[in-house]
Chain A
Amino acid sequence: MPIAEQDVKWVQEPKLGLFGQLYLPLVMDGLTTTISHMFQKKVTEQYPEQEPKLPANYRGVHRLNRDHDGHVKCVACYMCATACPAHCIDIVAAPAPVGWTDREKYPETFVIDELRCIYCGMCEEACPVDAIELTTLYDLTGLSREQMIFDKEKLLSVFDMTTKAGTDPVRTQAGKLGPASEAPPQK
């Protein structure tokens, strides 16, 4: 839609008087601001000595959640990979190992390229069983590209780390697996 004429407001630059054109008043103005800040509450954070407190919905490194048996919660439905705009999730699905009574499909491999990821959180939103979550871990470093490609074990270790540290409580609404992984009775 083009901008209508009545929506445009024309502003004229104010003309400086003789007082304004003098050097000193403006210097004093600046100094006032500087000095006033010296007596205000400090806002600068001393990173990295002092770490920031991030909100729980911060979108940092992914983790793969574990279920009550310690198994990966993911049911390899590829919803995250399908939703991902950066195409950085790669999953290979397989029938769940014998003994996993609560589901029939699980991810044999689950790889996220953290360099390619744009940390949009779509994967978290798409997951029907709340298996993938973005944590508040933000200081992600690696010495090579390979180190930044997170596999299943690494993603699970992020889960262990963040839950132990208490920074990222599991946000699963239901507290248990979703309907997609309800127990399939075996014959």
Chain B
Amino acid sequence: MPTVYVNDKPVDIGTQRLNCVQAAELAGVMVPHYCYHPALTVVASCRMCLVEVGELKDGKVTMQPKVLPGCQTPVKDGSVIVTGDYVKKDKSVPALAYDPAYKPGVRAKGAQADTLEGLLLNHPLDCPVCDKAGECKLQDYSYEFGRSESRMVDSKNQPPNKPGISSKITLFTDRCIMCTRCVRFTREISGTAELTVTNRGHHSEIDVFPGHPLENKLAGNVVDLCPVGALGSKDFLYTQRVWYMKDVDGVCSLCSTGCSIHVDVNKDRVYRLRARENPDAQGYFMCDDGRYGYHFASAADRIARPQVKAGDAVKNAAWHEVLPTLKADIEAAAKKDAKGVVAVLSPFLTVEEAFLFATYFKGLSKDVRLVLGPVPVIGQDDKYPKDVKGNAVEPTKFTIRAEKCPNRRGVEAVLKQFQGSVIPFADVAAKAGSLAALVFVGGYPNKEAVEAAVGSGWTAPALLVVQDLFPTALTAAAKYVLPATASFEKDGTFVNHAGLAQTFPRATLPPKEARSELQIAFDLLGRRGLVQAAAIRKEVAKAIAAFAHLAEEKAPKAGKRLELQTI
């Protein structure tokens, strides 16, 4: 078994090819680093990860005379890594047979403090007005490994800020520590290579090429990547201090890639989205459509309370008035003409919601048809990296999918379970006028998708119930209009394009009177008790074989890949 010793602790690295930072992480030791990022090439330029490296052979340890950058130093069987934190090591692990003159960890610790002193020479230290404060690696490492005072007597180098590098991103040039993560990202992941380093030595600066601002669909990731507050998102700039926000593990709902995200909320408002590392879903990044696409949830024209059409006027109504009449109307229609009742379940619903709605409608009569809501598809899958001409280059490192909804496959799986086949919306949209009742459960963040699917020559059925986020042609014709919730406002499960099921918790409360779809389905079913997605998930797991492994009490954060193609 290939074994590496990190601060004397043996870890088995198996067949993996690791560097010292990764091997130390396996052993539970954090090696501070700035420029190293698992998704980018290694440049070993920041020197934060300096460690002492040696080799254990025949029971004897030989250490190299210099500290080495851990991110660039591969480990093999018998490698010995000593980090600056050696004194904090697990005392129960016996020390290796070092040379008696060798003091483990002293050089690495000194190197860390010196590196930080160097990084802070020209750093403005304006943490109070820096948006990164609180999650800044320079702050964290300075606190942990640095010295408390600067010995610099000369005035600091203060290059001017560059708010013009992008429409969405600003550069506080003086805060940059030249890790070049951002430059490598645009070269290796987006391939668009807008960013570069200009000048040399202490005068190095990040900049864009004249006339080529940082505008690509993945650009927002450089803000996440920047370990300090040099690159700032204009969308988030100065709106919140990070320590006020709660970080909720979410799933992006704007395309079928289903990126794992951090949803940062405070007082029931989403302030920013960041990519959450998930090798099973999308990797380390997310696209700008999703990143800045959360504003729909707080848009002013959102439907926030139920409305009922009385004559020609549309009136706001209370839930306790709407629900009984709504239920009676649907059930009357189903009794009269079950074949004419259609329930449209949108691909924005969670699996749990779709399951409960399907249970309700199929419970009315077997003949009620369940239809998959319009699936918005815009253009082609957008693959990165790209070359200078904008053509995708293999191997693909990130894909923004053309299918702009999070859960088509999950809803399809539910529909197949309940009626064996999936009826597309187009099949019923044309003949909608002849239907007895159409219940449209939507939740579309972009109303164009709904309007396009409905088309112009559309006639409303006898009873039209529409639940959606925004007023559309459908809601205008509906007798009952119910508010829908955004993905931040509910918990549930989305199944992405590849069959990866990810559960996520609720991040914010729905606005005003809006209720979650799960709650509405509960009310329609006449169920009692607390509405809990986790409980419904167990039911889904029991009822639908493909979802069987969703039943676990604590779903893994990375999600679970489902064998959906088998049904």
Residues of A participating in the B interface, judged by any CB pair closer than 8 Å? 75-79, 82, 93-95, 103-105, 128-129, 179-182, 184-187
Of B125, B128, B160, B241, most buried by chain A (CB within 10 Å of CB) is: B128
Given known contacts A103-B129, A187-B160, A82 and B241 CB-to-CB distance under 8 angstroms? yes
From A78, A82, A181, A185, B161 is in contact (CB under 8 Å) with A185
User: Is B324 engaged at the interface, CB distance under 8 Å to the other chain?
Assistant: no
In the assembly, what is the distance between CA of A185 and CA of B156, in Å? 12
The number of chain B residues with a CB under 8 A from chain A is 21
Question: Are A94 and B243 neighbours in the complex by a CB distance under 8 Å?
Answer: no
> Which B residues between 95 and 143 are near A, CB-CB below 8 angstroms?
124-129
In the assembly, what is the distance between CA of A92 and CA of B163, in Å? 21
In the assembly, what is the distance between CA of A78 and CA of B239, in Å? 11
Given known contacts A82-B241, A95-B237, A95-B238, A181 and B160 CB-to-CB distance under 8 angstroms? no
Instruction: Please give, as numbers and ranges, the residues of chain A lying within 8 Å of B162 by CB-CB distance.
Output: 187
Question: Are A104 and B160 neighbours in the complex by a CB distance under 8 Å?
Answer: no
User: Is B455 engaged at the interface, CB distance under 8 Å to the other chain?
Assistant: no
Question: Are A182 and B124 neighbours in the complex by a CB distance under 8 Å?
Answer: yes
Instruction: Please give, as numbers and ranges, the residues of chain B lying within 8 Å of A180 by CB-CB distance.
Output: 126-129
User: Considering only CB atoms, which chain B residue lies closest to A105 in the complex?
Assistant: B129
Of B124, B129, B158, B160, most buried by chain A (CB within 10 Å of CB) is: B129
CB of B298 to closest CB in A, whole Å:
16
In the assembly, what is the distance between CA of A17 and CA of B158, in Å? 86
CB of B468 to closest CB in A, whole Å:
32
In the assembly, what is the distance between CA of A179 and CA of B160, in Å? 17
Given known contacts A76-B238, A187-B160, A187-B161, A182 and B126 CB-to-CB distance under 8 angstroms? yes
User: Is B424 engaged at the interface, CB distance under 8 Å to the other chain?
Assistant: no
Question: Are B238 and A94 neighbours in the complex by a CB distance under 8 Å?
Answer: yes
In the assembly, what is the distance between CA of A185 and CA of B126, in Å? 13
In the assembly, what is the distance between CA of A185 and CA of B158, in Å? 7
Question: Are B128 and A75 neighbours in the complex by a CB distance under 8 Å?
Answer: yes
User: Is B164 engaged at the interface, CB distance under 8 Å to the other chain?
Assistant: yes
Given known contacts A185-B158, A185-B159, A186-B161, A75 and B129 CB-to-CB distance under 8 angstroms? yes
Given known contacts A93-B238, A95-B237, A95-B238, A77 and B159 CB-to-CB distance under 8 angstroms? no
In the assembly, what is the distance between CA of A161 and CA of B292, in Å? 45
CB of A69 to closest CB in B, whole Å:
17
CB of B240 to closest CB in A, whole Å:
9
In the assembly, what is the distance between CA of A103 and CA of B128, in Å? 12
Question: Are B160 and A185 neighbours in the complex by a CB distance under 8 Å?
Answer: yes
In the assembly, what is the distance between CA of A104 and CA of B241, in Å? 15
Can you name 19 A-B residue pairings with CB atoms under 8 Å?
A75-B129, A77-B129, A79-B128, A82-B241, A93-B238, A93-B239, A103-B129, A105-B129, A105-B238, A179-B124, A179-B125, A179-B126, A180-B127, A181-B126, A184-B161, A184-B174, A187-B161, A187-B163, A187-B164
Instruction: Please give, as numbers and ranges, the residues of chain B lying within 8 Å of A94 by CB-CB distance.
Output: 238
User: Considering only CB atoms, which chain B residue lies closest to A185 in the complex?
Assistant: B160
In the assembly, what is the distance between CA of A76 and CA of B238, in Å? 9
Top 3 nearest A-B pairs (CB, nearest first) are A77-B128, A180-B128, A187-B160
Instruction: Please give, as numbers and ranges, the residues of chain A lying within 8 Å of B124 by CB-CB distance.
Output: 179, 182
In the assembly, what is the distance between CA of A159 and CA of B338, in Å? 74
Q: Mark B229-266, 1 if CB is under 8 A from A, else 0.
A: 00000000111010110000000000000000000000
In the assembly, what is the distance between CA of A94 and CA of B158, in Å? 23
From B125, B163, B237, B241, A78 is in contact (CB under 8 Å) with B241
Instruction: Please give, as numbers and ranges, the residues of chain B lying within 8 Å of A128 by CB-CB distance.
Output: 128
In the assembly, what is the distance between CA of A95 and CA of B160, in Å? 16
Instruction: Please give, as numbers and ranges, the residues of chain A lying within 8 Å of B243 by CB-CB distance.
Output: 82
User: Considering only CB atoms, which chain B residue lies closest to A128 in the complex?
Assistant: B128
Instruction: Please give, as numbers and ranges, the residues of chain B lying within 8 Å of A75 by CB-CB distance.
Output: 128-129
Q: Mark B269-284, 1 if CB is under 8 A from A, else 0.
A: 0000000000000000
> Which B residues between 157 and 183 are near A, CB-CB below 8 angstroms?
158-164, 172, 174
Instruction: Please give, as numbers and ranges, the residues of chain A lying within 8 Å of B127 by CB-CB distance.
Output: 180
In the assembly, what is the distance between CA of A126 and CA of B354, in Å? 51
In the assembly, what is the distance between CA of A30 and CA of B521, in Å? 82
Q: Mark B210-245, 1 if CB is under 8 A from A, else 0.
A: 000000000000000000000000000111010110
User: Considering only CB atoms, which chain A residue lies closest to B129 in the complex?
Assistant: A105
In the assembly, what is the distance between CA of A184 and CA of B174, in Å? 9
User: Known contacts A179-B125, A185-B161; can you find 8 more A-B pairs with CB under 8 A?
Assistant: A77-B241, A79-B128, A95-B238, A104-B129, A105-B238, A129-B128, A179-B126, A184-B174
User: Considering only CB atoms, which chain B residue lies closest to A129 in the complex?
Assistant: B128
CB of A13 to closest CB in B, whole Å:
57
In the assembly, what is the distance between CA of A105 and CA of B238, in Å? 7
In the assembly, what is the distance between CA of A76 and CA of B237, in Å? 12
In the assembly, what is the distance between CA of A75 and CA of B126, in Å? 11
CB of B331 to closest CB in A, whole Å:
50
Instruction: Please give, as numbers and ranges, the residues of chain A lying within 8 Å of B164 by CB-CB distance.
Output: 187
CB of A131 to closest CB in B, whole Å:
10
CB of B8 to closest CB in A, whole Å:
40
User: Considering only CB atoms, which chain B residue lies closest to A75 in the complex?
Assistant: B129
Instruction: Please give, as numbers and ranges, the residues of chain B lying within 8 Å of A179 by CB-CB distance.
Output: 124-126
Instruction: Please give, as numbers and ranges, the residues of chain B lying within 8 Å of A104 by CB-CB distance.
Output: 129, 161
Instruction: Please give, as numbers and ranges, the residues of chain A lying within 8 Å of B244 by CB-CB distance.
Output: 78
Instruction: Please give, as numbers and ranges, the residues of chain B lying within 8 Å of A79 by CB-CB distance.
Output: 128
In the assembly, what is the distance between CA of A76 and CA of B129, in Å? 7
